[in-house]
Amino acid sequence: MLIIFTGDGKGKTTSAIGQALRAVGNGSKVLMVELVKGPWESGEDKSSKKLGPSFKIVKKGKGFVKILGDKLPFEEHKKAAFEAIQYSLEELKGGEWDILILDEVWNAYNLGLLSKQDVSSFIDGALPLCDHLIMTGRGCPQEFIDRADLVTEMKEIKHPFKTGVCAAKGVEF
């Protein structure tokens, strides 16, 4: 089943993580591959380790693209994104994982790090190899929504950053 969490609101990645926690409790094995985000350790990294080998989070991003002082050549970001989907496919071929989460893939697509063809071929290859493929990120294009089985748009109704509150540890990262 292809599951997509998209939209501009908070809750896409956390929903995928919550899904992972639920599935792991029911005996599934979940691999989460993060694109775009940098290698810093987040709360979910620390917690996932406590859940044992059934939930693995792998960071394949090189950090934010073109913002917050990013000086990395764009080609390096592109390479990292392409490696992330190749890695995911290789892992699925190993037959170990029931669920694959590809986090922030739509951001990577919209930033131009992955082409439509890259993503499309990835889905073709990945979907038969897992029970569920969960793809998150803002701005999922309509043709992938058409292809998905389950799609939720996380719509921002209100966000405190807009009123000047700083990112809260434990909530935003």
Residues making contact with a copy of itself (CB under 8 A): 1, 3, 5, 7, 9-28, 42-48, 50-52, 98-99, 131-132, 145, 148-160, 165, 168-171, 173
Strand partners, 100: 31, 133
**SS3 state at 13:** helix
In the block, residue with structure tokens 């190749």: 86
Give the 3-state secondary structure of residue 4. strand
From first CA to last CA, the distance across the chain in angstroms is: 28
Angle at 82 between CA 75 and CA 107, to 5 degrees: 85
Nearer to a copy of itself, 21 or 127 (CB): 21
Whichever of 49 and 79 has its CB closer to a copy of itself, that residue is: 49
Whole-angstrom distance, CA of residue 100 vs CA of residue 92: 8
Question: In this complex, which beta carbon is closest to a copy of itself, that of residue 71 or of residue 169?
Answer: 169
Min dist CB 157 to a copy of itself, Å, is 4
Quote the least distance from Cβ 158 to a copy of itself, whole Å: 4
CB of 92 to a copy of itself, least distance (A): 17
Minimum CB separation of residue 15 from a copy of itself in Å reads 4
